[in-house]
Amino acid sequence: MPHTLETRVLLEGAEDPRLATLQGYRDIVGGYATLEKAYKSMEQDEVLKELEESGLRGRGGAGFSMGKKASFLPRGDMDKYLCCNADESEPGAFKDRELMQRNPHQLIEGIAIAALAADAGHAFIFIRGEYDSQADVLDAAVAEAYEAGYLGTDILGTRRNLELVVHRGAGAYICGEETALLDALEGKRGNPRLKPPFPAVQGLYGGPTLINNVETLSNVPRIVAKGAEWFRQFGTEQSPGTKVVSISGRVRRPGNYEISLGLPTRDLIYELAGGPLPGRTVKAIYPGGSSSPVLTAEEAMDLPYSFEAMAEAGSMLGSGSVIVADDQVSIPLMALRTARFYHHESCGKCTPCREGTNWTVKMLERVVRGEATPMDLDIISSVQENIMGHCLCVLGDSMAMPVSAMVRKFRGEFEQTMAEAAEGIDPHVVVDAAPETLGAAT
Ligand SMILES: Cc1cc2nc3c(=O)[nH]c(=O)nc-3n(C[C@H](O)[C@H](O)[C@H](O)COP(=O)(O)O)c2cc1C
Ligand code: SF4
C-alpha cells in the first residue's frame, strides 16, 4: 500500500505485475488510449502546446522544460530523432529502473507521443548496460507494442511512423551525459561533444534530436490525456507534477517514493523513508544524487522538496535522489568515496576534470591517512573552484560541487579526522545495517 504522503501517478498500479504487459497496461490504467487519441486526432503543435503549458521539467538532472526543448527542434523534412536517456548511473538514483521494470508501456507510449511533438521518426532507449533484466522487460514490451500497431509504419492506420530500438550501453556513467550518449549510440567511444550545437539542432547522426529522461517521458501520456491544468494541480508553480524520489543511505526504509513536488524534505526522510536507524540522527544529505552539493540536516529538513527550493539553498534537485548520512558516517570518507567515483568515470578529455578529480582523490586520501595539514583543505577547495565551470561537460562539477560543500560545511570534522588519523585512529567506517523493510513499490 502506498504511504498516505505519496501521490501515485507514474507509479499508479505499480504493485500489480500485470502492469508490465500490454494487456495489463490497458486494463489497469487505460494504457495506449492517449497514443490513439494523439496519433489519430492531434497535430504536432497541439501536443507541443500541452507539454509546454504543463511546465514539465526534465527529471534527468538539469530540470529544463521538456516542452520548450521539444519546440527547439527545427521543422523540415530532415530525419529527426528521439533518445530516451535510461543510463541512470548516478549514485543514489534508481527510480528509472523501477519505472521501466514495472511500467515499460507507459514509457513507450510517452516516447511515441513525444515523437509526435518532435516530429521524430526514429527513437532509441539507451539503457544502462547493467540494467539487463529491465532491458529484457523493455524488449518484450516494445515487441508487444509493434505487434499491436502502436509502433512501426502506418501506426493505427494514421500514416505516421515510428521505429523504436532498445540499445544497451556498456556500463559507463559518462554515457548518461546526453552528447556522450549520442556518440555511444553511433558506435563510437562515449565522449561528450562540444555544445553548441545542441542536440535539438544537431544530434544523433547530425539530425535534430530530442533527448529526455525515462521519468520525463513517462509523464507525457497523462499530460496529453488529462491536460496541462490537471498536471499543474500537483507540485509547485515552478516545479509542477509529481516526482519519483529514490531515497537511500542511512534510513529505515530506503526505496522509491512518488511525491507531489514541494513536500517537506523532513516528510520524505522521516515519514516515507522511516527516518534514521535506531539511535542515530541525520547529519547531512545529498538532495539530488551524488553530484548535488551536500546540505546539512539543519539546512535541509524544512525545505520543500522542489527544484526552486533546492536551488535557493545552494544545491539542486538533480535526478531527485536523496542520499542520507547519519552521525556515524564520516564526511571525509564520504567525500573520498564521491571523488573516487567521479575520478573513475571521468572520460579524461579535459584537464580540470581529468587532473582535478585525480588530485582531489589523492588529497582526500592524505586527509584520511592523517598526512594532510589544514592548508590542504584550502587547496582541496581551490581545486574544486578551478574545476567548476571549466569543463566540457558537468561531470567535473559533479564532483567539485559536493566535495567543496562538504569541506566548507564540515571543516571541523575534516580537521578532527586529520588529527585523529595522525595518531593512528581510523575515521569511523559505517557497516551497512539491514533496512527494516524495503520502501514504496520496491
Ligand atoms: C555525467 C553526466 C551523467 C548523466 N547521466 C544521466 C542519466 O543517467 N540519465 C539522465 O536522464 N540524464 C543524465 N544526465 C543528464 C543528461 O545530460 C540530460 O540533461 C538529460 O538526459 C536530459 O533529459 P531531461 O531533460 O528529461 O532531464 C547526465 C549528465 C551528466 C553530465
Ligand atoms: S568534464 Fe570530465 S567527463 Fe566531462 S568531458 Fe571533461 S573530462 Fe570528460
CB 403 within 8 A of CB 335: yes
Q: Which three cell numbers stand for residue 411?
A: 571543516
State the number of CA atoms in the 13 A half-sphere of 7 facing the CB.
Answer: 13
pLDDT at residue 435 in the model: 45
- Tell me: pLDDT of 167 over 70: yes
* Amino acid symbol at 239: S
| Model pLDDT for residues 50-106, shown as the tens digit of each residue | 999 999 999 999 999 999 999 999 999 999 999 999 999 999 999 999 999 999 999
Ligand 2 geometric centre to CA of 82 (Å):
24
Exposure string for 180-198, b = 16+ CB within 10 A, e = fewer: bbbbbbeeeebbbbeeeeb
pLDDT at residue 426 in the model: 79
Cβ of 48 closer than 6 Å to ligand 1, yes or no, is no
Choice among 59-73, 148-162, 424-438 with the minimum mean pLDDT: 424-438
- Quick one: which ligand is closest to 189's CA? 2
- Tell me: pLDDT of 242 over 60: yes
- Tell me: pLDDT of 23 over 60: yes
Confidence of residue 425 (pLDDT cuts 50, 70, 90): confident
pLDDT at residue 436 in the model: 46
Mean pLDDT across the chain: 95
Exposure string for 350-378, b = 16+ CB within 10 A, e = fewer: bebbbbbbebbbebbebbbebebeeebbe
pLDDT at residue 428 in the model: 64
* Amino acid symbol at 382: S
Q: Using a 6 Å CB cutoff, which residues line ligand 2?
A: 174, 192, 346-350, 353-354, 391-393, 395-396
- Tell me: pLDDT of 429 over 70: no
pLDDT at residue 439 in the model: 40
CB 124 within 8 A of CB 84: yes
Q: Which three cell numbers stand for residue 421?
A: 588519523
- Tell me: pLDDT of 16 over 60: yes
Other residues' Cβ atoms within 10 Å of the Cβ of residue 390: 15
CA gyration radius for the chain?
22
Choice among 166-180, 365-379, 425-439 with the minimum mean pLDDT: 425-439
| Model pLDDT for residues 300-344, shown as the tens digit of each residue | 999 999 999 999 999 999 999 999 999 999 999 999 999 999 999
For residue 179, CA distances in Å to 37, 83, 206, 356, 414 come to 33, 11, 11, 22, 37
pLDDT at residue 424 in the model: 86
| Model pLDDT for residues 201-219, shown as the tens digit of each residue | 999 999 999 999 999 999 9
- Quick one: which ligand is closest to 345's CA? 2
Choose among 91, 131, 9: nearest CA to 319.
Answer: 91
Ligand 2 geometric centre to CA of 390 (Å):
10
> pTM here?
0.96
φ, ψ of residue 163 in degrees (nearest 5)? -100, 135
Mean pLDDT for 157-173 is 96
Mean pLDDT for 150-179 is 97
Cβ of 110 closer than 6 Å to ligand 1, yes or no, is no
Q: Whose CA is nearest to atom 8 of ligand 2?
A: 347
φ, ψ of residue 373 in degrees (nearest 5)? -115, 165
pLDDT at residue 430 in the model: 52
- Tell me: pLDDT of 434 over 90: no
All domains of the chain in start order, with CATH = 17-232 (3.40.50.11540), 242-326 (3.10.20.600), 331-422 (1.20.1440.230)
Ligand 1 geometric centre to CA of 413 (Å):
33
Residue position matching grid coordinates 543514489: 92
Q: Select the more confidently predicted residue: 39 or 429.
A: 39
- Tell me: pLDDT of 240 over 80: yes
Choice among 19-28, 74-83, 312-321, 424-433 with the minimum mean pLDDT: 424-433
| Model pLDDT for residues 339-397, shown as the tens digit of each residue | 999 999 999 999 999 999 999 999 999 999 999 998 999 999 999 999 999 999 999 99
Test site for ligand 2: of 183, 346, 351, 359, most ligand atoms within 8 A of the Cβ = 346
